[in-house]
Amino acid sequence: MTDVTQPALTIDALGKKCPIPIIMLAEQINFVPLNAVVAVLADDPAAYTDVPAWCRLKSHRHVGSYELPEGGWAIHVRRNY
Amino acid sequence: MGPVAYFDAASTEPLHPQAREALLTAIDAGWADPARLYNQARRAHLLLEQARAEVAEALGARPDEVVFASSGTQAVHLGMLGTLHGRRRAGRHLVASAVEHSSVLHAAQAHERDGGTAETVGVSLTGRVDLDAFTAAVAREGVALACLQTANHEVGTLQPVEEAAEACRRHGVPLFVDAAQTAGRLPVPAGWSVLAASAHKWGGPAGVGVLAVRKGTRFRSFVPEDERERRRVPGFENVPAVVAAAAALKAVRAEAEAEGARLSALVDRIRETVPKIVPDVEVIGEPVERAPHIVTFSCLYVDGEALLTELDRAGFAVSSGSSCTASTLRPSHVLEAMGVLTHGNVRVSLPRGASAAEVDRFLAVLPDVVRRIRKDAGVA
């Protein structure tokens, strides 16, 4: 986990099924400054694919997905605009 | 509720009228044991062999290369594992695209449990296999079998089967081709070593799979053998269903070009219209190099199960690759491999005879259905 930008905001979507983690991300990404990173914590397997796909569709940047010790991932997204 | 528009042909195509007619006739004429030597048995045998010749001709195979299984899935399992078994001395490695039908992936898992190895080759954002990676994979030492579908069952994308077959031929690796989504709709691509298809996908009855093994392909059944179906599929043949399957294949092939073009134009209309009338939607798969009857899209912020339920209520039978609609609660491995949105997913697959009016009605109700579900979820 070196070179990982410290997230400006962490969204806890653990235990929530898609599309809820994506809805939370879309609502909250504007709470952080431009170029800041939002971490989405999610354990629905769909989120692992859907957060990066959302970034592609919405022109934000998927920085990386990091496995959490308790299961699931911290999926990092950089706000582009 | 008004009439239901059936848009799930990729799951199963309604029985073709000519298959129904052939089935009813063959139930009376073809019930006897085709392996016996009395009059009724000879008649059943004749019906079976005639159906075999017709199906073989339609798929570009020789009659003695074709056997009938009890489903497309069984044909896939027997075909893949029989070829792997026959090629044991050449190697134990299996190569398959990441978007193959689950029956292919399940056979690959069985092969791994038996001590073999397997790898999947990735696909593009549109679901097309990475041909360079596929070619590199089959070039390695010890590859017993490679697998590639003709078209993807969830997104319709056509695969470069002939190019993959050429790569396999260069390296002496047999190619297993799952033709379930295109048999009867499109010509079978050249170069396969083993081919599987399923009659109920082309308007035949359920319970008939087709397995074709090219002459010269090393093949050894991995299940107990009997004298039936060239020792490749054990058990009593369902002659009436096979006869009906052949009749359906003949009928759909005769109309395939015109009907395929008509359905493809309707698919184009859906592909072009949906992004204009529904905000935040992603239309998935190859826009041109695709099966004529399949289109898939995903709606952002929409629960797939709610979408299917609402569309069902509005009179549309469609399918979805979203995880909430799967018994496993995992999203479709196809959508995952492509890296596209897995939630809010809808697959529309048009059966023979689907009308422009039905498609227009679908496009008329879709925006409001999506808007309602988003509103209920609190999405602005």
pLDDT band at B81 (very low <50, low <70, confident <90, very high): very high
- Considering the domain architecture, whether residues B263 and B233 belong to the same structural domain is answered as no
Write down the pLDDT at residue A4.
Answer: 65
Q: For chain B, what is the mean pLDDT?
A: 96
Residue scoring higher pLDDT (A52 or B325): A52
- Considering the domain architecture, whether residues B302 and B232 belong to the same structural domain is answered as no
**With 0-12 CB in 10 A as exposed, 13-18 as middle and 19+ as buried, what is B254?**
exposed
Please determine, for residue A1, whether its predicted confidence score (pLDDT) is greater than 60. Answer: no
Decide: B150 and B186 in contact? Cβ < 8 Å: yes
With CA atoms as reference, the chain B residue closest to A56 would be: B340
Domain containing residue B173: CATH number: 3.40.640.10
Decide: B350 and B7 in contact? Cβ < 8 Å: yes
- Considering the domain architecture, whether residues B240 and B98 belong to the same structural domain is answered as yes
Q: Which residues from A are below 8 Å from B307, CB to CB? A: none
- Considering the domain architecture, whether residues B75 and B137 belong to the same structural domain is answered as yes
Please determine, for residue B288, whether its predicted confidence score (pLDDT) is greater than 50. Answer: yes
Please determine, for residue B66, whether its predicted confidence score (pLDDT) is greater than 80. Answer: yes
Last residue of a domain, one of B207, B227, B250: B250
Residue B123 per-residue DSSP state: B
Please determine, for residue B11, whether its predicted confidence score (pLDDT) is greater than 50. Answer: yes
pLDDT tens figures, B134-169: 999 999 999 999 999 999 999 999 999 999 999 999
Report how many domains make up chain B.
2
Decide: A36 and A79 in contact? Cβ < 8 Å: yes
Please determine, for residue B9, whether its predicted confidence score (pLDDT) is greater than 60. Answer: yes
Query: Taking phi first (over 0 means left), then psi (-120 to 50 degrees means alpha), and beta for anything else, what does residue B288 get?
Result: alpha
- CB within 8 Å: B301 and A26: yes
- Considering the domain architecture, whether residues B288 and B232 belong to the same structural domain is answered as no
Write down the pLDDT at residue B175.
Answer: 98
- Considering the domain architecture, whether residues B232 and B325 belong to the same structural domain is answered as no
Q: Which residues from A are below 8 Å from B302, CB to CB? A: 19
The question of ipTM being above 0.85 is answered as yes
Write down the pLDDT at residue B1.
Answer: 55
- CB within 8 Å: B301 and A22: yes
- Considering the domain architecture, whether residues B312 and B240 belong to the same structural domain is answered as no
Please determine, for residue B213, whether its predicted confidence score (pLDDT) is greater than 80. Answer: yes
Decide: B203 and B253 in contact? Cβ < 8 Å: no
- Considering the domain architecture, whether residues B130 and B98 belong to the same structural domain is answered as yes
Mean pLDDT, range B279-306, rounded to an integer: 97
- Considering the domain architecture, whether residues B51 and B164 belong to the same structural domain is answered as yes
Residue in A50, A59, A60 to test binding to B, most B beta-carbons within 10 Å: A50
Active-site residue A55, yes or no? Answer: no
Write down the pLDDT at residue A3.
Answer: 54
**A64 CB near a chain B CB, below 8 Å?**
no
Domain containing residue B272: CATH number: 3.90.1150.10
pLDDT tens figures, B120-134: 999 999 999 999 999
- Considering the domain architecture, whether residues B205 and B313 belong to the same structural domain is answered as no
Residue in B342, B374, B375 to test binding to A, most A beta-carbons within 10 Å: B342
Mean pLDDT, range B291-320, rounded to an integer: 96
- CB within 8 Å: A49 and B340: yes
Residues whose CB falls within 8 Å of the CB of residue B56, separated by 6 or more in sequence, listed in order: B62, B63, B65, B66, B212
Please determine, for residue B2, whether its predicted confidence score (pLDDT) is greater than 70. Answer: no
Domains of chain A in sequence order: 9-78 (3.30.110.40)
Question: Which of the residue ranges B12-26, B76-90, B137-151, B322-336 would you say has the lowest mean pLDDT?
Answer: B322-336
**A17 CB near a chain B CB, below 8 Å?**
yes
Active-site residue, selected from the candidate residues A9, A18, A32, A36: A18
d(CA B240, CA B28) in angstroms, rounded, equals 8
Mean pLDDT, range B14-36, rounded to an integer: 97
Range of the domain at B304: 5-12+256-376
